[in-house]
Amino acid sequence: MISHIQSSLTEAQTALNNLLANPQALASIEAAAQQLITSLAAGGRIFSCGNGGSMCDAMHFAEELTGRYRNNRRGMAAIAISDPSHMSCVANDFGYEHVFSRYLESHGRAGDVLIGISTSGNSQTIVNAATVARELGMKVIILTGRAATRLEPLADVYVNTPGGQYADRVQELHIKVLHILIELVERHFCPENY
């Protein structure tokens, strides 16, 4: 059993090392942070969404901006699209693939930012959300684990963190990227916390 634990941790370490050695990925993370800072500075809001584990990451990201990351500071405008009553209503009336896009139709506006999280880069819910976000004049940041996906042409910033064959390693890299984005936003607005 120890050998399986070691193998799993080694695989995760390899995925992280590959991300560290990827200048394009690092530049895209920096560009994503700058997009968030620009939007928040102008009074914009950040919407995040994903399916399954990626929804949990979207919620985690939003709550650490509205609440606290490491030290106390004012809350920041971030919303994870995860309201169960909205999602069940839209899924029932329009189909699950519209649960995020319909929310953005109702609440999104030019100057806001969408962070869409899709390990495959092809989730129809995220494709629809990104399409509506662009129509509204929002900026679109995509976190994925694959290159050349359906979401890439819809993104202003495309953060690709390949983690291997399965989604779990990609999700582990995504939470690291999301934490870095929060830190960079905080460093800009709340330098006293660092």
CA-wise closest residue to 143 among 38, 9, 53 = 53
pTM beyond cutoff 0.85: yes
Range of the domain at 156: 1-193
Question: To the nearest 10°, the Cα dihedral for 106, 107, 112, 117?
Answer: -80
The answer, yes or no, to whether residue 173 has pLDDT greater than 90, is yes
**Predicted confidence (pLDDT) per residue in 101-140, tens digit:** 999 999 999 999 999 999 999 999 999 999 999 999 999 9
The answer, yes or no, to whether residue 175 has pLDDT greater than 90, is yes
- Please state, in angstroms and rounded to a whole number, the distance separating the CA atoms of residues 142 and 130: 9
For the record, the structure tokens of 58 come out as: 């979207």
Q: Reduced to 3 states, what is the DSSP secondary structure of residue 137?
A: coil
**Predicted confidence (pLDDT) per residue in 36-60, tens digit:** 999 999 999 999 999 999 999 999 9
- Please state, in angstroms and rounded to a whole number, the distance separating the CA atoms of residues 73 and 37: 16
| Cα within 13 Å of Cα(144), Cβ side | 23
Whichever domain contains 122, its CATH number is 3.40.50.10490
- Please state, in angstroms and rounded to a whole number, the distance separating the CA atoms of residues 68 and 165: 33
Q: Per-residue confidence at 80, pLDDT binned at 50, 70, 90? A: very high
For the record, the structure tokens of 102 come out as: 């319909």
- Predicted local distance difference test score (pLDDT) of residue 15: 95
**In total, how many domains does the chain have?**
1
Q: Per-residue confidence at 95, pLDDT binned at 50, 70, 90? A: very high
- Please state, in angstroms and rounded to a whole number, the distance separating the CA atoms of residues 143 and 131: 15
Q: Reduced to 3 states, what is the DSSP secondary structure of residue 115?
A: strand
